[in-house]
Amino acid sequence: MTRNIDEVNHNFKMLSGLSGLLILGGILLVSSGVGLLLITHAEGQLWFQVKMGVVAALPLNGFLFGARQEQKIKHILSSSDGQIHQQLRLPIANLRIFYAIQLFLFLTVVILAICH
């Protein structure tokens, strides 16, 4: 049991190290969208404005919702309580919701780009 918890803790630390790349990706995503808006002069196109709102929602969702769940999981994994499985249920369920929202937002951006 302790070995499994140590493996989960190690894997989670490796994955949480990618958070810096997610922030960089969010900044690049929004800045490239703003640059595209300026280059194409698409201010009057409703589909593009909606798409940019969804693009901005991707890093915002990650920062506001995903980061909180990550912090909760880190805290639970660092504690030496024996009820780790019980404590991890809610944050992991919330993390699944977070990833579903991220996937939905990403697919919405792709669909708006294709079907404008």
Kindly state the percentage of the chain with pLDDT values over 90.
0
Mean pLDDT, residues 77-90: 79
Instruction: Please say if the pLDDT value at position 86 is more than 80.
Output: yes
Predicted confidence band of residue 42 (pLDDT cuts 50, 70, 90): low
Task: Tell me the pTM.
Answer: 0.66
Instruction: Please say if the pLDDT value at position 101 is more than 80.
Output: yes
Q: Residue 89's pLDDT is what?
A: 86
Mean pLDDT, residues 92-109: 88
Predicted confidence band of residue 53 (pLDDT cuts 50, 70, 90): confident
As for how many domains the chain has, the answer is 1
Q: Residue 10's pLDDT is what?
A: 67
DSSP per residue, 65-115:
IIHHHHHHHHHHHHS--S-HHHHHHHHHHHHHHHHHHHHHHHHHHHHHHH-
Which residue type does 8 have? V
Query: Range of 103's domain?
Result: 2-114
R_g (Cα) of the chain, nearest Å: 18
